[in-house]
Amino acid sequence: MPYSDMGIPAEELLEQIFTKTQNLYKEICHSESDASSNHYEIFRLLTDLGRILINAGDAVLKHVAQILYTNMRICDGIYRWGGEEFIAILPDTDMDGAAETAERIRRAVQASICHFEDLDIKVTMSFGVTTIDRSKSIEDNIKDADEKLYKAKESGRNIVIK
């Protein structure tokens, strides 16, 4: 299932999928076929629904990755971190420069629409920006960025926190 943590307006996506599901369910349940056939059709519907959600999530990740790559310098590194998170390394960039880059990407993602099958998925992103502290471990540096990211999510999402 696409995560709203990724910035997907889950309510809108789920509403579109629910409407599709409801229409298919009505079609199945009101058909003249026997009950066992209806059970099979409902199972098939749920299987198809799971596939749609997984594939929609993959489409959103590819969509966001494309925006990231087009908004980063050649010397920057962008890495997928976990399910729906990314880490960006911006060499020779201070905190303000990194926050400006994150804001530019945030606006580009917000202005875009991910098209998947017959769904138009509006995507937003939240960012936690920090500078690397060489006295800390990699894990602690990532933890600092993560804390800012969660603060962004708790603050209403679709923002950059530095």
pTM over 0.85: no
Q: Which residue has the tokens 């009101």?
A: 30
84 is catalytic: yes
Mean pLDDT over 139-145 rounds to 89
Q: Above 80 in pLDDT, residue 2?
A: no
In order of their start, the domains of the chain are 4-161 (3.30.70.270)
Instruction: Render pLDDT for 143-153 as a digit per residue (tens, 0 to 9).
Output: 999 999 999 98
Under 8 Å between Cβ of 19 and 136:
no
Element (H, E) at 81: strand 77-81
Number of alpha carbons in the 13 Å side-chain half-sphere of residue 75: 4
Instruction: Render pLDDT for 12-26 as a digit per residue (tens, 0 to 9).
Output: 555 666 566 556 555
Q: Mean pLDDT, the chain, as a whole number?
A: 77
Mean pLDDT over 37-57 rounds to 58
CA-nearest of 58, 44, 56 to 16 is 56
From 32, 84, 100, 139, the catalytic residue? 84
